[in-house]
Amino acid sequence: MKLLVAGGAGYIGSVVTRLLFDAGHEVVVVDDLSKGRRDSVPDGVRFVPGRIHDKAAEVLDPSFDGVLHFAAFIEAGESVARPEKYWDNNLVGSLRLLDAMRSAGVRRIVFSSTAAVYGDPDELPIRETATPRPPNPYGASKLAVDYALRDEAVAHGMAAVSLRYFNVAGAHRCADGQLLGERHDPESHLIPIALQVAAGKREKLQLFGDDYPTPDGTCLRDYIHITDLAGAHLLALSTMDCDADPATGQLTVARPAGATPQGSHRVYNLGSGTGFSNRQVAEVTREVTGRPVPVEIAPRRPGDPAALVASSEKARTELGWTPQRPALSDIVADAWEFHSRELH
């Protein structure tokens, strides 16, 4: 396939780009490098710098088979303070990308949605049928794109998949031994910050709130290994020309290759199904690194839901998705190896 990867210089997009490229697909990355790194895009992949808002229309043409859309701002806490930044980048950018796809007749899209659409759910683990209640503008902007995809897919005969990732972490080991990991600057995510503390780059780990309705009072999150998450995108792509049986939900190959897809929008949660508290993450980081990770309780971070834990039954059943490295200790160990290499 010939594929556009929007946001392919970022943490997750660059790993998926690598997997697609290694699997023999032709890949074009569009990224404005607001957060990504040019050197995360492998040699052999065409790189187009710029915002999806206008670059998608310049790049896409009928020779493309599909789009994988990672380009977004991703920080729940920041989105509470600067909602306009998130609505413009995440929603307006996605709408312009969809316009460009329509104009070029490109009909397949895999979208990076998020657990942040759910907010505080009625029950755990969270299934795709849970009522979304986004607790912050970031989650709301992503849910708005899910709804746009649902409506446009039906109206314009697109095959759309929203993958709702829970908390992605760890590093991907490429076939040549290179490790691809999280390099956000400044870093805001729990595991990389805990590792910076373990490495002596920060004095302590601040935990935002210990009065949540959870067993130890700190938030619960469901961590998924970047390699497992990235693999789900290839599985989703391989089902883009399938239709779901309305009675059973089972996917069946219904059309010959190249035929126009029926309009469909599918949603899948991707997580391990196990919640770890922020305190437990600090503890696992101590165990894995063998270093001290002093913690300090700080005020709650606005926009944080108490607990996000996935049911990924649907992805397992329909996509055949089977995580290979679900253990938090493996996820932290791989991230630690990446950080140790980066810091030297």
Ligand X SMILES: NC(=O)c1ccc[n+]([C@@H]2O[C@H](COP(=O)([O-])OP(=O)(O)OC[C@H]3O[C@@H](n4cnc5c(N)ncnc54)[C@H](O)[C@@H]3O)[C@@H](O)[C@H]2O)c1
Residues that bind ligand UPG (CB under 6 A): 74-76, 114-116, 166-167, 188-190, 193, 206-208, 219, 221, 278, 301, 304, 308
Nearest to 151, CA basis, from 105, 213, 117, 102: 102
Query: Residue 228 gets which letter from DSSP?
Result: H
Listing DSSP states for 20-35 in one string gives HHHTT-EEEEEE--SS
Q: Does 7 bind ligand X (CB under 6 A)?
A: yes
Q: Does 11 bind ligand X (CB under 6 A)?
A: yes
Residue 219 binding target from ligand X, ligand UPG, none, CB below 5 to 8 Å by type = ligand UPG
Residue 167 · residue 117 · CB < 8 Å: no
Provide φ and ψ at 54, rounded to 5°: -120, -30
Listed in sequence order, the DSSP H helices in the chain are: 11-22, 52-59, 76-81, 83-86, 93-104, 137-156, 190-198, 226-238, 278-289, 313-314, 328-342
165 is catalytic: no
Choose, by CB under 6 A, the member of 33, 254, 298, 343 that binds ligand X: 33
Q: Does 46 bind ligand X (CB under 6 A)?
A: no
Q: Kindly name the residue from 11, 118, 138, 268 that is annotated as catalytic.
A: 138
Query: Which residue minimizes CB distance to ligand X?
Result: 10
Site for ligand X in 68-97 (CB under 6 A): 70-72, 74, 89, 93
Residue 207 binding target from ligand X, ligand UPG, none, CB below 5 to 8 Å by type = ligand UPG
Site for ligand X in 144-173 (CB under 6 A): 165, 167-168
Nearest to 162, CA basis, from 101, 236, 228: 236
Choose, by CB under 6 A, the member of 25, 28, 31, 161 that binds ligand X: 31
Residue 268 · residue 318 · CB < 8 Å: yes
Residue 268 · residue 232 · CB < 8 Å: yes
How many residues interact with ligand X (rule CB under 6 A)? 27
Q: Does 10 bind ligand X (CB under 6 A)?
A: yes
How far apart CA 86 and CA 340 sit, in angstroms, is 32
Residues written for the chain: 344
Nearer to ligand UPG, 25 or 142 (CB): 142
Residue 221 binding target from ligand UPG, ligand X, none, CB below 5 to 8 Å by type = ligand UPG
Residue 126 · residue 308 · CB < 8 Å: yes
Nearer to ligand UPG, 265 or 301 (CB): 301
Active-site residue list:
138
Given the rule CB under 6 A, which residues bind ligand X? 7, 9-13, 30-36, 51-53, 70-72, 74, 89, 93, 112, 114, 165, 167-168
